[in-house]
Amino acid sequence: MKALYHLLLRELDLLLLLSLPTLIMFFLFYSTVQFYPSDERYPVAVLLQWIFDARPLIVFDYNFEKTFTKIIFYILIVMILFDLEKNIVKKTFCIQLSDVFLIPLFITFILYIFTPNGASAGMMSDRYALILFIFLLLWIVSRVKLTWIHPVLIVIAMFTHILLQLKHYNKDLWMLDKHARTLYAISEHIEENSIVLPINFSDHWMEIHFSNYIGCTKPLILLENYESTVNWFPVLLNYANLPNLFLHQRNFITGIEWKHNPDSENK
């Protein structure tokens, strides 16, 4: 057991050494970029439900897709419980090298529960949920030894995944592709270097920035681009040289926003 602990420490030391460049860049980035955090957060009960629903696997329709993603999550749990039970019955249960993944898994879980969703760049609960499942999968696949039950569970998981993908391709992705192609075709009627104010009438969360397809083939200024207004993206608006943009003699309309500089003499 002592030898295993020393082996784990050596592996962790190597992991820390390999992570140093990333950690250094993270520190430099986080110390120089101004964020706009908020205290928006989900209740703990909701965050725990996300885990059981396998939230990172849900893309388009939460209520529909969780029926499938729950099956995949419970298959993972059965795999690890079956492995632990087998080791306990045979009295061979012990800490393995693969259990090193439990350390980042536990740390991520704590951050997932206590970090507000609106912290840092926002959507922190979704980000931590994804990382949580990555470490969970790494731990399971590195620890579980295949037995007669695992191929059965894997087939069920694959079948469930295929059904979910068929729903995605036959409904959601087909519709999104149709709308994206329509926007792409609209660019033929817009002159180069035009200033375009897209207005979103869609209630689909993925179509918020579909207007960017208009600028695929020619240079345009799209006034809905939120990325150019927040500091953690590399290309930012130069507000000092931004003109005061008017739409029919108005630089502001309730419910419709666009980037402009009201202090600019250029109109």
What's the pLDDT tens digit per position in 207-218? 888 888 888 888
Place of tokens 């295993």: 4
Q: Which residues pair with 195 in a beta bridge?
A: 221
List, in order, residues 6 or more apart from 59 with CB less than 8 Å away. 65, 168, 172
Q: What is the DSSP letter of 195?
A: E
Over the stretch 88-133, which tens digit does the pLDDT of each residue have? 666 665 677 778 888 899 999 999 999 999 988 889 999 999 999 9
Query: What mean pLDDT is reported for the chain?
Result: 85
Q: pLDDT at position 201, please?
A: 82
